[in-house]
Structure 1
Amino acid sequence: MPQLTAIVTGASEGLGKAFAIELAKRNINLVLAALPGPGLDNLAKYLVKNFEIRADVLETDLTNTDSCHQIFTYLTEHRITAHMLINNAGIGNWDWFTDKGTAFYKKQIDLNITAPVLLTRLFLDQVDVTITSYILNVGSMGGKFIVPRKQVYGASKAFISYFTKCMQLELAGTNVKMSLLSPGGINTKPELLVLNQQLKGIAKATIFEAEDIARIAIDGLFKGKQEIVPGAANKFLVALNSLLPQFIKNAIIKRKLKGHG
C-alpha cells in the first residue's frame, strides 16, 4: 500500500495544526492549506524534520472558490494523489446577527459551507479506487442546538452534518469512507482558554484540547465511524437534546441569554 497523503485545510493553527501533527505522527504525508502567514511554513518544516514525511504548503484563501480548484491543480501538476481530506477550515463567532455586516456572513458561508462541498467533489474525482480513501468533515455541537448569537455558524455546521450524512449513503459500498466530527468547545486560542477555564460541571467536561480532538477524530475516521462525538459529556448532551421538548430548550436558551445583551 502506498504512503497516504492527507489534505488539511485551516492547517496553520488550532485544530488544523493538531490534525497535521497527528497525521504526521502516523507517517502520513501532508498537503497543508491555510491563509498566507509564517505559521504554515514553520509547521511544515517542523513536521518534515521530526517525522520524516513530505509536507507541501499551499497558502490560499478558501473563501475564493478558485482556490479549491487550485489545490487539486497543484496535486495534478506534482503527481500527488490525496487519500485523505480533512475539511477543517471555518469561521466561528458569538455575536448578535446585526452586529456583523453582510461581508462577514458571506465569508463565513463561503468557508464553512461552499469550500467543503467543492473540495469534497474535487477530491472524489482523483481518488485511487483500489485503496480506501477518507474524508473527515469538521462539524460542531453547535450544529445540533439552536443557539442565538451562533445563528449562521450553527446553521453552517448543521449543513455540514446533513451533507455528510447524505454523502455517507451515496458512498456506501465504495472505497471512500466519510466521517462527521462533532466536537464541543476546543481550547484553540488563548482567549478561549481563559473563557473555558471559568466553566464548571458538565459545561467544563465538554471542553477538550485540540490535540486530543485530533487523535480521537483520526482514530474514529480509520475505524469507519459515521459520527465522532468526543467525550461522554458531549454524548450525553446530544442524547438529552433529542429527548427534551423544543419549548423547554427554548426556555433554557432564553434564560441563558438574559443579561448577555
Structure 2
Amino acid sequence: MEVKKFTLITGASMGIGKAFAFECASRGMNLLLIALPDDGLEETKKQINLRFSVEIITLAIDLRDHEAVRSLYDYCIQQNLVVNMLINNAGMGAGGKFEEISHEIYTDMLHLNIRALTMLTYHFLPMLKQHAPAFILNMSSMEANFPLPYKSVYTGTKNFVYAFSLALREELSHCNVKVSVLCPGPVLTNSDGLKRINAVGNRAKMIMLMPAEVAKIGVNNLLKGQGIVVPGKINWTIVKLMKLFPTGLKMKLLERLFRVYTDH
C-alpha cells in the first residue's frame, strides 16, 4: 500500500508560512499545517481547498510550549502520518535597545526560533530518513550574516539557524535528506512588517519581496538541493559585498543603519 506523505509547515496561517502552504499545494503536496490557536489556520485551509486537491490537516499548537513539539510528533505517530518535508518557518523578532525589550519576549524568541526548530528537526529526522527522498527547509534571515545592533537577539537566533542548517546538511550529505537554509531580506508579511520596512526607509523597500516570491524561490531551491538560499539578486549581492568589509567598519555602518529601531 502506498504511504501518503505530508509536508509539515510551521507558522502556516499567515505571511511566508501561508505562502509556503499554497506553493506546496500547487505542487500536489499534502499538508500538515501548524500555527497558533485562533490564528487563521482553518481559513487558510479553506482557501487552499478552493484551488488545489490535496489533503490538508491543521493543528493549532503554540510551539513555545515545552511539550508542544513532542506532542506534535506523537500525534503524527498515532495517526500514521508520514512527514517527508519539514519546513521550519515559525519564528518571531523584535528590535530596539537590548535592555528595553522584555525578558518574556526574549524567552519566547529563543524558544520559538531555536528550541522549537531544533527539536522538530530532532524528532522528525528518523522519519525523514526512513521515507527519503526527504527535505528540511529552515527559515533564517539575510540578517544572519550581520550581527545587527538593536536586533542583537533576533540576529543571534537566525545565525544559529544558519549555522545549524549548514552543519546538519553536511552530516546528512550521505543520506537522501536535503537541508536548505532560507535567508530572505525584508518581506511584506503584515502591518508590523510594513512598519519595520518603513522605519528603515527606501533602502529596505528596494530589496523587499512578497511572501509568495520567497516561498517559490525557497521550495524551488530546496528541491534542487541548494544549501543557502538568499532570494533576490540585490540581497545576494549585499551579502557577498558585506563579507569584504573589515568587521569594525561593518559594525559601525550597521549601527548607523539600524539606529532607527531605537525609536520604532
- Normalised by the length of structure 1, the TM-score is 0.93
> In the alignment, is the contact (CA less than 8 A) between 1:91 and 1:112 conserved in 2?
yes
User: Is 2:1 aligned against 1:12?
Assistant: no
In the TM superposition, what are the counterparts of 1:201-220 in structure 2 within 5 Å? Answer: 203-220=204-221
User: Is 2:161 aligned against 1:167?
Assistant: no
Q: Report the counterpart of residue 202 of structure 2 in structure 1.
A: 200
Tell me which stretches of 4 or more aligned residues in structure 1 moved more than 2 Å: 1-4, 127-131, 190-201, 253-261
The alignment of Structure 1 onto Structure 2 pairs a total of residues equal to 260
> In the alignment, is the contact (CA less than 8 A) between 2:30 and 2:54 conserved in 1?
yes
Cα distance in structure 2, aligned partners of 1:48 and 1:78: 21
Give the direction of change, closer, same or farther, for the CA distance of 1:66–1:97 in structure 2 (3 Å limit).
same
Cα distance in structure 2, aligned partners of 1:122 and 1:84: 13
Deviation track 1:155-202 (CA, whole Å, cap 9, x = no partner) reads 00000011011101110110110000010000001243355368435x
Cα distance in structure 2, aligned partners of 1:17 and 1:35: 13
Cα displacement (A) at 1:66: 0.9
Give the direction of change, closer, same or farther, for the CA distance of 1:247–1:89 in structure 2 (3 Å limit).
same
In the TM superposition, what are the counterparts of 1:117-132 in structure 2 within 5 Å? Answer: 117-127=118-128, 129=130, 131-132=132-133
> In the alignment, is the contact (CA less than 8 A) between 2:63 and 2:69 conserved in 1?
yes
Match of 2:150, SS?
Answer: coil
> In the alignment, is the contact (CA less than 8 A) between 2:3 and 2:82 conserved in 1?
no
Q: Report the counterpart of residue 75 of structure 1 in structure 2.
A: 76
Q: CA RMSD in A?
A: 1.8
Q: Report the counterpart of residue 59 of structure 1 in structure 2.
A: 60
Q: Report the counterpart of residue 239 of structure 1 in structure 2.
A: 240
Give the direction of change, closer, same or farther, for the CA distance of 1:56–1:95 in structure 2 (3 Å limit).
same
Match of 1:85, SS?
Answer: strand
Deviation track 1:49-73 (CA, whole Å, cap 9, x = no partner) reads 3211111111111011311011111
Cα distance in structure 2, aligned partners of 1:226 and 1:250: 26
Cα displacement (A) at 1:115: 0.4
More divergent stretch after superposition (241-250 vs 43-52): 43-52
Cα distance in structure 1, aligned partners of 2:5 and 2:230: 25
> In the alignment, is the contact (CA less than 8 A) between 1:130 and 1:175 conserved in 2?
no
Cα displacement (A) at 1:127: 2.4
The percentage of counterpart residues that share the same residue type is 33
Q: Report the counterpart of residue 99 of structure 1 in structure 2.
A: 100
> In the alignment, is the contact (CA less than 8 A) between 1:19 and 1:214 conserved in 2?
yes
Cα displacement (A) at 1:205: 2.9
User: Is 2:179 aligned against 1:178?
Assistant: yes
Q: Report the counterpart of residue 230 of structure 2 in structure 1.
A: 229
User: Is 2:9 aligned against 1:28?
Assistant: no
Deviation track 1:217-258 (CA, whole Å, cap 9, x = no partner) reads 000000000010001111111111110101211221233356
Cα distance in structure 2, aligned partners of 1:238 and 1:259: 21
User: Is 2:86 aligned against 1:85?
Assistant: yes
Q: Report the counterpart of residue 143 of structure 1 in structure 2.
A: 144
Q: Report the counterpart of residue 43 of structure 1 in structure 2.
A: 44
Match of 2:178, SS?
Answer: strand
- Higher relative CO (CA 8 A, sep ≥ 6), structure 1 or 2? 2
